[in-house]
Structure 1
């Protein structure tokens, strides 16, 4: 019985030694490939590759979270510099898209179109209605309603071929989403327009004074700021 026990103990020790060596090898290497059994790039801690030629038919799906604002770390437990997520919520100052954390707040990773767009731009020229027969006028509230964002989008998309044109080699103009913009009116003629309101989605409402006179000052400057 003694020799049998000795062989069994030696077998257990051999298995334990192999496990320890494999664990030590993994710790020493400290690099991982996900998606295949190929060796990771020597410069990467984590390498995502599906085929030996480094090509793939799949992508990286980041965690999808619902942020509440750029200043709130929720739903995380704290601000963590370098943390990257995909936000699914539209609330306060956050919209769907990729965000990274700088240790104090969330910062949106802009899409290509936003990356090259100026931080602000003037709205394309429009004629604001002042005739109460215009469809934008509400007789009950005596108020005009103008969808600034839609007018901007339609002009930039050249939807009316009868009054728009582009160069022979021109492609398209970038159009931002309504919730990627903030809306401002730096100036308006306060002898003509009154009770002006401007929504977060670009809906302009205003009333006219009962008695007013058109002049060279009768216009509005409307500015769009890129978030």
Structure 2
């Protein structure tokens, strides 16, 4: 009977010790070193804190920033490495803000300007142009798509790059903000810009072209 009581006490002591250990909720991975007092998870290979290894996040194939897939739902704080190039996502680290995926390190280097002018394009004023909607009497121009075509040098018949030149950066549509700093208000009216770089405008019933009949369109890097 006494032996049983002793065993029960030892078992209770072990449970208490295990509970205390679990309740610390701090873990070191990579070595037997104790975790930093403020770290829930401490990746530490040596006591000196140096290592020749890194952290490899889960690799997934996202389908777009708006869709949680391949996860079942958006989870704020979730961080992954995306391997896919589709829609508005490209390979890289993404975190989830609870409603969408956001790229952690956009393809913007220290030499990339904080803003730049839209490449030169001709804005149609002919109602026979495919961009014109006769029902709304409105022109719709995808400025972002035109920027992607020009910076991507997609038309080899009308673009060229220097010998040894690599590529121009083509940022995601949601990595920029769109502005019109000037337009000819005697020709264009009802100007509207979407968050993804789609321009809509109407023309006055009577207008005359002049040397100021153009728009200055600026892309600002977020």
The reply to whether TM is greater than 0.5 is yes
**1:26: how far off?**
6.4
Gaps of 5+ in 1: 68-83, 90-94, 99-109
- Check conservation: 1:181, 1:224, Cα contact below 8 A: yes
CA RMSD in angstroms, aligned pairs only: 3.6
Q: Distance in 1 between matches of 2:28 and 2:13?
A: 25
Residue number among 131, 134, 139 corresponding to 2:134 in the alignment? 139
**1:60: how far off?**
8.9
Q: Distance in 2 between matches of 1:18 and 1:135?
A: 78
Distance verdict in 2 for CA 1:209–1:59, change over 3 Å: closer
The reply on whether 1:96 has 2:101 as its aligned counterpart is yes
- Check conservation: 1:183, 1:223, Cα contact below 8 A: yes
Instruction: Tell me the TM-score normalised to structure 2 length.
Output: 0.65
- Check conservation: 2:35, 2:42, Cα contact below 8 A: no
**1:21: how far off?**
4.5
**Alignment correspondent of 2:10:** 14
Distance verdict in 2 for CA 1:40–1:86, change over 3 Å: farther
Gaps of 5+ in 2: 45-51, 61-70, 78-93
SS in 2 for 1:158: coil
Relative to its length, the structure with more helix (as a share) is 1
Instruction: Tell me the TM-score normalised to structure 1 length.
Output: 0.64
Distance verdict in 2 for CA 1:58–1:127, change over 3 Å: closer
Distance verdict in 2 for CA 1:193–1:172, change over 3 Å: same
**1:185: how far off?**
0.9
Distance verdict in 2 for CA 1:219–1:65, change over 3 Å: same
Give CA-to-partner distance per residue, 1:63-97, whole Å, 9 cap, x none: 94269xxxxxxxxxxxxxxxx962363xxxxx522
Q: Distance in 2 between matches of 1:54 and 1:40?
A: 16
